[in-house]
Amino acid sequence: MGLLDVLRGKFVDPTHYPSVHEGGDIITTRLDAVVKWGRKSSLWPMPFGTACCAIEFMALSASHYDLARFGAEVLRFSPRQADLLFVAGTIVDKEAPVLKMIYDQMPEPKWVISMGVCASTGGFYRSYHVMQGIDEIIPVDVYVPGCPPAPESLIAAVMKIQERIQNGQQAKSAQRAQKLGSPGDAWIDRRSRRDAWGKEDSERAAQGLPPGGVLPLVPEAPKKEDHHG
């Protein structure tokens, strides 16, 4: 099998299949096809694991299921080094600003997998302190159902992300905002909640301030008297 056969089908557009020049050691293709191919085959995930799903995520990254087979074994615990955010576990309101900051700190292009029903919709925690799906605050590319999802479905999600990368797709805004629960105090209006996040942030942005849910990246240095004066 020649190099061409190996690479055939790896790139996005069938009209831009690589062609091999004389001797077989030079290949031409489109740059973005190569870039996307490289990106999808070397995902660096950041596991934002909070609960039960994180245990299954560990199982995914451990020896039996071995995420390394998909080129995504380099787990980074710093968002600045990662391009795939795994939100594994329930996100509660107290955790929300942390998650938002982590997402904002990731460099573009970035993708988000919402693992499990808690991260996707709040799951069976319809309650006073649980975020009813992380898409209230950050966009999500792939939702994985299950409580917790089996590692196989996570592998499917990673493959789905690879497909999206190849197709150049990315979730740009929070999706699937809808009302949940019965009317009254228990009514959870995800759209209005999401808008509340977004609206105030745009006002703050107009004043040149960082978004409201985001901690200042560098804590203010304590003011000191000048000793040398």
Binding interface with another protein (CB under 8 A): 48-52, 54-56, 58-59, 62-64, 77, 89-90, 92-98, 102, 118, 124-130, 147-148, 150, 181, 184-188, 193, 196-197, 200, 212-213, 215, 219, 222-225
Q: For residue 167, count other CB atoms closer than 10 A to its CB.
A: 12
For the record, the structure tokens of 110 come out as: 């970035």
Tell me the closest approach of the beta carbon of residue 127 to another protein, in angstroms: 4
In the bound complex, what is the minimum distance in angstroms from residue 151's beta carbon to another protein?
9
Backbone angles phi, psi at 215, to 5 degrees: -70, 150
Please tell me the distance from the alpha carbon of residue 166 to that of residue 164, in angstroms, as a whole number.
5
Identify which of residues 223 and 228 has a Cβ nearer to another protein in the complex. 223
Helices 31-41 and 151-166 cross at an angle (nearest 10°) of 170
The residue (of 160 and 193) whose beta carbon lies closer to another protein is 193
Q: Containing H/E element for 45?
A: strand 45-49
Please identify, using beta-carbon distances, which residue of 113 and 165 lies nearer to another protein: 113
- Provide, rounded to whole angstroms, the least separation between the CB of residue 32 and another protein: 32
Rounded to an integer, what distance in angstroms lies between the CA atom of residue 46 and that of residue 124? 25
**H-run or E-run covering 85:** strand 84-88
Q: 117 or 142: whose CB is closer to another protein?
A: 117
> Minimum CB separation from another protein for residue 153, in Å?
12
Number of H helices, E strands in the chain: 7, 8
CB closer to another protein, 8 vs 129: 129
Residue type, 182: S
Helix (H, G, I), strand (E, B) or coil at 194: helix
Give CA–CA dist 50/102, Å, rounded: 14
**How many residues make up the chain in this entry?**
229
Instruction: State in angstroms the smallest separation of the CB of 175 from another protein.
Output: 19
Smallest distance, another protein to C-beta of residue 161, A: 21
